[in-house]
Amino acid sequence: MSEETDQKEEDVSMDDWAAAMGEQAETEAAAAPEAKPAQIFEQFGGPGDRAAGLQDFDMILDIPVAMTVELGRTKISIRNLLQLAHGSVVELDGLAGEPMDVLVNGTLIAQGEVVVVNDKFGIRLTDIITPQERIRKLNR
């Protein structure tokens, strides 16, 4: 076969392909004039369905999160870091008596003060950060 014959057959097959795609699009449009998304996930209840909402909330109550209490921070050179020894004191940016930050998974959720109970350290929460305050801090 010549190159010209091959080109004509390719053009014919491309025209057939385009015609078939057009027919398929017309058939799909006629069969489903309004396509609705499939219901993949279960819908959570509205405000009137509080009992079901609380039951759904119970599913996440046992998920562990990392809680951190931060006394303060500092930057130190590697040279000074390597010189630290038993009894060394590292100065932090936090002041004595200043509230400490309580972070959950790295997000500030509260501030508090140190307490000692039965020879163990703890923290008494003095200020809880509201979701609105967290969002406001993100916008800064």
Question: What pLDDT is stored for residue 80 in this prediction?
Answer: 92
By the 10 Å C-beta count (0-12 exposed, 13-18 middle, 19+ buried), 102 is classed as buried
Asked whether 31 and 43 are in contact (CB, 8 A), the reply is no
Q: What is the mean pLDDT of residues 22-47?
A: 63
91 vs 42, more confident: 91
Domain spanning 65-138, CATH class = mainly beta
Q: What is the CA radius of gyration of the chain?
A: 33
Question: Given pLDDT bands bounded at 50, 70 and 90, which one contains residue 45?
Answer: low
For residue 13, pLDDT over 80 is answered with no
For residue 54, pLDDT over 70 is answered with no
Mean pLDDT of the chain: 77
Question: What pLDDT is stored for residue 85 in this prediction?
Answer: 93
For residue 76, pLDDT over 60 is answered with yes
**Residue ranges per structural domain of the chain:** 1-29, 65-138
Among residues 98, 96, 103, the alpha carbon closest in space to that of 70 is found at 103
Question: What pLDDT is stored for residue 77 in this prediction?
Answer: 93
Question: Is the pTM for the entire model greater than 0.75?
Answer: no
How far apart CA 109 and CA 140 sit, in angstroms, is 17
Helix or strand (DSSP H, E) at 81: helix 78-82
